[in-house]
Amino acid sequence: MDIDVERQHAARLALLDPLLPADPPLSGDLIDTIGALGAPVSTELDPDSLDATWGALRRHTLTVRLAGDELGPLLDRWEEHLARVATPGDEDSVAAIVWPSRDTAAVRALVHHGFAPLLVTAVRRAGIGSPSPALPPGVTIRHATNVDLVACVALNVEVVRYDTQFGALTERPSTEVGLRQHTADLLAREHPCIWLAELGSRPVGIVTVDLPPHSDWIADRTSASPVAYLGLGGVRADLRSTGIGTALVAHVHRELDQLGIAATLLHYALPNPRSVPFWSTQGYRPLWTSWHRRPALRP
């Protein structure tokens, strides 16, 4: 392993974005070129798992350490590796690189290798965001309870179906069952972590959050601590752009700030014309960008 590349990579990113974490050393079977290191990993998911909804079944990822701005040769080496482990034209496969959003040095090489920026991991610091708006007429906000399971799952499924248009998510026959179990698990947690917006007595908007320690799985993606993860935010399609989502998210942010959460992370799809402006207005900005190519290898 080239320790100098690791150190130069860390120093470069520390100057670009103070909210990026200190990356651990790479391990496993590495590929390398002058000034760059990469750790390729290939995994295949159980199609009945909920995780299979959040992407392709066969995932080929490359974790990179880059000393300068020459990513292209390392991507060439990765292409050689993919040719040995991926099936050309497999539409349920993806090649993906998660890249620091403010590190623009590698963008040209990624584009030239057929990758597109698809997902953003965005971050909001405590106290950042638009002022709390007044609730729209007839709207109330409350924590969900066990009796809301069916309504929560319906809102969640609607969000997933909308987001499948943008190329990252894949609704599967097992998706609704998996979402029901996940929602039931959220409702069983010690601290409330699902908020509902109601119009009259009808749930029309939802936000779910992983609080520590349930957010530990993503806490190492930022230098801030403690971290929460906003897993779902959505409003019924017929009530979008009415202010319900803004009021709901502002309410959740107030509670997170009161809990002492330093930073909240979430994912959104860059091609989604609603997500990008909405979450930016709520105080989120890009921290990591996931560049995808699906299928992983063109036929």
Give the pLDDT confidence of 17-33 residue by residue, as tens digits.
999 998 888 988 999 99
Separation between Cα atoms, residue 146 and residue 165, nearest integer Å: 31
- What would the pLDDT profile of 57-113 be if each residue is shown by its tens digit? 999 999 999 998 899 999 999 999 999 999 999 999 999 999 999 999 899 999 999
Report the mean per-residue pLDDT for the chain: 94
Answer yes or no: do 24 and 149 share one domain.
no
Q: Of 73, 102, 120, which closes a domain?
A: 120
Whether 18 and 111 share a structural domain:
yes
Beta bridge partners of residue 214, listed in sequence order: none
Tens digit of each residue's pLDDT (9 = 90 or more) over 109-132: 999 999 999 999 999 999 997 777
- Angle ∠(195,197,200) on CA atoms, nearest 5: 140
Total domains present in the chain: 2
Q: Do both 23 and 89 map to the same domain?
A: yes
**In the structure, what pLDDT confidence band is assigned to residue 2 with cuts at 50, 70 and 90?**
low
DSSP E strands in 132-284: the ranges are: 139-143, 194-199, 202-210, 227-235, 263-269
pLDDT digits (tens, 9 = 90+) for 166-191: 998 999 999 999 999 999 999 999 99
pLDDT higher than 60, residue 1: no
Q: Does residue 298 sit within a domain?
A: no
Q: Considering only CA atoms, which of 23, 27, 115, 17 is closest in space to residue 71?
A: 115
Q: CB-based contacts of 203: which residues, under 8 Å, 6+ apart?
A: 144, 148, 151, 152, 155, 196, 197
Do 236 and 155 share a structural domain?
A: yes
Q: Are residues 278 and 168 in the same domain?
A: yes
- Bridge partners of 189, per DSSP, are none
Domain that includes residue 18, residue range = 3-120
Whether residue 248 is predicted with pLDDT greater than 60 in this model: the reply is yes
Q: What is the CATH number of the domain that holds 157?
A: 3.40.630.30
Same domain (yes/no): 217, 90: no
Kindly state whether residue 161 falls inside one of the protein's structural domains. yes
Residue 133 scores a pLDDT above 70: yes
